[in-house]
Homo-oligomer: A and B are copies of this chain.
Amino acid sequence: MSDATLFFKCENFQKAGAFKARGATNAIVCLSDEDAEKGVATTSSGNHGAALAKAAQIRKIPVTVIMPHNSSKIKFEAVKSYGAEIITCEPDHQSREAALDKLVFETGAAVIHPYNNENIIAGQGTAGIELMEDHPELDAVVTPVSGGGLLSGTSIAVNGMNSNTDVFGAEPEGADDAFQSFKAGEIIPNKTVETIADGLRAEIGTITFPIIQKNVTNIITLSETEIINAMRLIWERMKILVEPSSSIALAAVLKENQLFQGKKVGIMLSGGNVDLNDLPFKDS
């Protein structure tokens, strides 16, 4: 279907169901004992929150997760199951940051940003390292992009291991700040966050963006239909669960098939945390 040879890095099978475990674990491990004592906090659409909660639980330190109230039920439950405290907020950048500031002021918790943090970026990059260790000959690697932790970390890893491998980001048209910023050469905020890909509604970071500018070949934007069709394809043919925020990377390869024709392409399936009570499949 793609006229390319595809290799999937299945982070949906990762602990807690997403690549986020990599960065969160690295960030928790890197904390000094003094900082760790005061606990950690984060804002998150869910996967990072769960991953941080799990990593904090292992190091036995307090963890608070600030989540938009419209996050999926399964993501709330996952975070709760690792013993985190949850604070809900409105699903916008401002509300999230305000809640976080208040918490830090009160507790002195270390803020582990979901992506704008070098230890997080380094952790996420290990997914790219493993992919390139398995397939050092890849012509291209495509990952979803939201805040840019996975894309920036992956781009450092991939370019460091094979300078001939191009790295691409895949982003929803409905939340295309990375694409707009990449084109403009400066950070341009999201105009909307209207996408089913609930893991891709964040804004590109001040630390991640320059790394992406330097290492990434291009960012490909996808419609909601393209994202959902790729999700259905992966479920039906590969028999694995991925979330829309993951299937977008396959959607990018199918859409830009001329770009990838005859190439070996690594696709980062970033996570598999979907709410089975709220699936996007209709009669077709």
Contacts of A17 in B (CB 8 A): 239
Interface residues on A, range: 10 to 19
How many angstroms between the C-alpha atoms of A236 and B17 in the bound complex?
9
Known: A13-B239, A74-B236, A240-B240. A282 touches B272 (CB 8 A): no
B277 touches A276 (CB 8 A): no
B279 touches A283 (CB 8 A): no
Contacts of A281 in B (CB 8 A): 276-277, 279
Contacts of A241 in B (CB 8 A): 235, 239-241
**A284 at the B interface (CB under 8 A):** yes
**B-facing mask of A207-247, CB < 8 A → 1, else 0?**
00000000000000000000000001001100111100000
Contacts of A232 in B (CB 8 A): 276
How many angstroms between the C-alpha atoms of A277 and B279 in the bound complex?
10
**A43 at the B interface (CB under 8 A):** no
Q: How far is the CB of A235 from chain B (nearest CB, A)?
A: 6
**A47 at the B interface (CB under 8 A):** no
How many angstroms between the C-alpha atoms of A236 and B232 in the bound complex?
16
Interface residues of A in 241-284 (CB under 8 A from B): 241-242, 272, 276-277, 279, 281-284
What are some 14 contacts across the A-B interface (CB < 8 A)? A12-B239, A17-B239, A235-B241, A236-B276, A239-B240, A239-B242, A239-B272, A240-B241, A241-B241, A276-B281, A277-B281, A277-B283, A277-B284, A279-B281
